Amino acid sequence: MSSNLAQKLRCGTQQAHTVAENVGFMKCFVKGVVDRNCFAKFLGNLYYVYSALEAALERHKDHSVISAVYFRELNRKANLEKDLEFYYGQDWRGKIAPSKAAQIYIARIHQLSAKEPALLIGHAYTRYMGDLSGGQMLQKVAQSVLKLSGYEGTSFYNFEQIPDKQAFKDKYRQVLDSLSIDDTTADKIVAEANHAFGLNMQMVQELEQTLIQAIGQAMFYNLTNTNNTDNTELSTA
């Protein structure tokens, strides 16, 4: 029995993907407008989200559905810790806290872990496949604009254990498509992936005020209201 889940996720999240690409924060990012403080806050929120997600996936690694798509090489928490130390220093843990939107995001992950762990796949798909796709371009932008050396400050996007990202994404798709789940479960995972997009968008939208303060209202308006020909491919899976 094949669920064709990867195909369903790709088709079922296309609209959310497009909306995510056009959030002001991301449009500015793609165009090379990256504020160091804002980027550090972005990574700080992601640290809490990935800590929750990876703890939940670890908890359910023997689950009949989760086990097939549990890949430790995808984990981002340790890499984010490196980045946060770079931006905030060794005492970084005392200098950051999850934003309101990040707290809502984390609460949803905890809720699923307790009641419907199979739906965590929707979050893993949205986050990790985005990191392996458009995230690689965002890393290059941040490195260039912030004048970073090597992977300092952008370790989040560096998958040391996945040298061939395209081959890994193909493997991940194959695993998703081979999952033995019914259509109802597949539809719920797609719906949860769309919810994950929404939670992520709320989290980055919170940062727009910080970005506006850094670059100015007029510049932000010009950058976010012109046609965007770039494609960040936040979660091409």
With beta carbons less than 8 A apart as the criterion, state whether 4 and 180 touch. no
**With 0-12 CB in 10 A as exposed, 13-18 as middle and 19+ as buried, what is 106?**
buried
> What pLDDT is recorded for position 46?
98
Mean pLDDT for the chain overall: 92
Taking the domains of the chain in order of start, what are their residue ranges? Answer: 5-224
| pLDDT tens per residue across span 45-86 | 999 999 999 999 999 999 999 999 999 999 999 999 999 999
> What pLDDT is recorded for position 161?
96
Rounded alpha-carbon distances, angstroms, from residue 193 to 11, 105, 124, 188, 231: 11, 12, 8, 9, 19
**With 0-12 CB in 10 A as exposed, 13-18 as middle and 19+ as buried, what is 14?**
exposed
Q: Is the pLDDT of residue 201 over 70?
A: yes
0.85 exceeded by pTM: yes
Give the pLDDT mean for 203-209.
91
Domain 5-224 has CATH 3.90.1150.10: no
pLDDT band at 112 (very low <50, low <70, confident <90, very high): very high
Least confident span in 2-11, 77-86, 162-171: 2-11
Comparing C-alpha atoms, which of 121, 21, 128, 26 is closest to residue 79? 128
How far is the C-alpha of 146 from the C-alpha of 151, rounded, in Å? 12
With beta carbons less than 8 A apart as the criterion, state whether 137 and 31 touch. no
> What pLDDT is recorded for position 1?
53
How far is the C-alpha of 204 from the C-alpha of 55, rounded, in Å? 22
Q: CA angle 179-183-184, nearest 5°? A: 115
> What pLDDT is recorded for position 234?
46
Give the pLDDT mean for 33-52.
96
| pLDDT tens per residue across span 84-96 | 999 999 999 999 9
Q: Is the pLDDT of residue 229 over 70?
A: no
- Looking at residue 40, its amino acid is A
CB atoms within 10 A of CB 77: 17
